[in-house]
Amino acid sequence: STKRAIPLKYGAQYTGKRSDEAMNKWRSNRFGQFIHWGLYAIPGGVWNGKTYNYAAEFLKSSAHIPTPVWDSLMYQFNPVKFDAKAWAKMAKKMGVKYMTITTKHHEGFCLWPSEYTNFTVANSPYKKDIIKQLVEAYNAEGIDVNFYYSVLDWHHPDWRYDIKTPEDSVAMSRYLTFAYNQLKELATNYPTVKAFWFDGTWDNSVKLNGKWTYEVEKMLKEVRPGVIVNSRLRADDYGKRHKDSNGQLMGDYESGYERRLPDPVTDLAVTKWDWEACMTIPENQWGYHKDWSISHVKSPLELLEMLVHTTSMGGNFLLNFGPSGEGTFRPQELNIANTIGAWMSKYGNVIWDCDYAGMKKEDWGYYTKKKGSNQLNMVVFNVPVSGLLRVNTPKGMILEKAAFLDSKGVSLKVEEIAANQYLIHIPVKQYTSPQVIQVDYREGN
Ligand code: FHN
């Protein structure tokens, strides 16, 4: 019984994984830095002496701040300590290969001098184009820059959450023209942009405009051939998001994993498409919040495990930073960048360009694998007290030798205990950071 495909005008623009050079590069990047920066960094979750625990970038809504009051924060935006080159150097040291910056978040404030609105950095005391400086500095370090863009806009008078009257429809289409123009402006004026990261597309007003999301994807790819668009942009003819009414992924990769990761045992379906997870360091804070004592703050080790976990399932890991209104990172963020960076400088090659290895998940950690190689990487987070690491191989895979990646090839004992079952023996001791073992294998019976 074949299910008849639903005819769609605004569904997926192609099917399957992209395999062009730009997409291969995006995929090989694996580790990225997300940056949420805007006017919300100035109050940092505190308004009239009161701390609001909800996400700092939502303070306008949590504290019921009228739009003109919020918007006047523009006249205080003056990040005197902002140094794009220092940010890029820190990112490089951390081991990221791309950076995604909020060109405009829900508040509507633009970090570039858009010709379509006055609500931009050009009219702040700071004046200078933040996006241009970031693109130049990060690109100079060999880091790709991607643009986050919120379609939802609390500043623009024509934005609508829903379309209930003909007037709403007229206003919203004016708004969508504005957003389309801004996106074209970004794609045109910053020619090295590699991807657009859409957000704020969940409201009915956007779902009723699947055609617009379709046209934006097309336009961006015409202006900037090879550019990559996340699934969050898209809605189809029937308002279905991410995947169209025929179940096909829209955009170039799936971007639904936010502050959570797919399960490495039960969610292996994700290995069939491209995807990216985004993660905060504290619980739900993307923009700068003055008080991080209100939530758990993830340790460098927890975040490193998430990065490896993501790589092991063929995804990209986008780790968020929320710089202050002055343009600085907090000590916890610097510590995370340094600690992960130290590990990446030794072991980055088991992350970049690596993918799902097709192996059964084991309790000691995660496998990654470089495409086309005959070598498995084992990233070990939980060392068994026995020092024996179990490896179950699929039929036809024979393990030949194993060694710690940084041991200059000193072999570890590989014991075959049954068909397709091995134990790798490692010294019993206290390990202070996740170890990497490389295993050579061959095909055979
Ligand atoms: O509301 C936003 C939030 O502030 C942040 O930008 C995240 C990042 O994925 N996206 C939205 C929530 O899904």
CA 368 to ligand 1 centroid distance, Å: 29
Range 368-389 average pLDDT: 96
Please name the residue whose Cα sits nearest to atom 10 of ligand 1: 199
Please name the residue whose Cα sits nearest to atom 6 of ligand 1: 286
Strands 31-35 and 98-104: parallel
Torsion sign (Cα): 251, 253, 258, 262: positive
CA 445 to ligand 1 centroid distance, Å: 49
323 closest CA partner among 31, 36, 33: 36
Range 87-101 average pLDDT: 99
27 closest CA partner among 263, 275, 372: 275
395's CB contacts (< 8 A; 6+ apart) are 420
The two structure tokens encoding residue 152 = 């939802």
pLDDT digits (tens, 9 = 90+) for 180-221: 999 999 999 999 999 999 999 999 999 999 999 999 999 999
Residue 114 has pLDDT above 50, yes or no: yes
4's CB contacts (< 8 A; 6+ apart) are none
Residue whose entry in the numeric block shows the structure tokens 């079952």? 421
Rounded-to-10 torsion of CA 180, 186, 192, 194: -50
Residues with CB under 6 A from ligand 1: 55, 57, 199, 258, 278, 286
Instruction: Report which residue type is found at 187.
Output: A
CA 199 to ligand 1 centroid distance, Å: 7
Q: Which atom of ligand 1 is nearest to the CA of 258?
A: 9
How many angstroms separate the CA atoms of 176 and 206, rounded? 9
Q: Which atom of ligand 1 is nearest to the CA of 36?
A: 6
CA 176 to ligand 1 centroid distance, Å: 20
Please name the residue whose Cα sits nearest to atom 9 of ligand 1: 258
pLDDT digits (tens, 9 = 90+) for 232-286: 999 999 999 999 999 999 999 999 999 999 999 999 999 999 999 999 999 999 9
Q: Which atom of ligand 1 is nearest to the CA of 102?
A: 6
CA 275 to ligand 1 centroid distance, Å: 17
Residue 142 has pLDDT above 90, yes or no: yes
How many angstroms separate the CA atoms of 111 and 261, rounded? 30
Q: Which atom of ligand 1 is nearest to the CA of 55?
A: 4
**Which of 37, 286, 316 to mutate for ligand 1's pocket (most ligand atoms within 8 Å of CB)?**
286
Measured CA to CA in angstroms, residue 82 lies from 37, 255, 324 at distances of 11, 29, 9
pLDDT digits (tens, 9 = 90+) for 349-364: 999 999 999 999 999 9
Classify 384 as helix, strand or coil. coil
CA 284 to ligand 1 centroid distance, Å: 9
Domains of the chain (ranges, CATH numbers): 21-353 (3.20.20.80), 357-443 (2.60.40.1180)
- Note the pLDDT of residue 444: 87
CA 289 to ligand 1 centroid distance, Å: 15
Which H/E stretch holds residue 318?
strand 315-321
* ipTM over cut 0.95: yes
How many angstroms separate the CA atoms of 56 and 45, rounded? 5
Q: Confidence band (pLDDT; 50, 70, 90) for 3?
A: low
How many angstroms separate the CA atoms of 301 and 44, rounded? 26
Q: Could you tell me if 275 and 314 are in contact, meaning their C-beta atoms sit under 8 angstroms apart?
A: yes
Residue 2 has pLDDT above 70, yes or no: no
- Note the pLDDT of residue 216: 99
Question: What integer best gives the mean pLDDT of the chain?
Answer: 97
**Which of 199, 206, 275 to mutate for ligand 1's pocket (most ligand atoms within 8 Å of CB)?**
199
Range 46-63 average pLDDT: 98
CA 158 to ligand 1 centroid distance, Å: 21
266's CB contacts (< 8 A; 6+ apart) are none
- Note the pLDDT of residue 1: 44
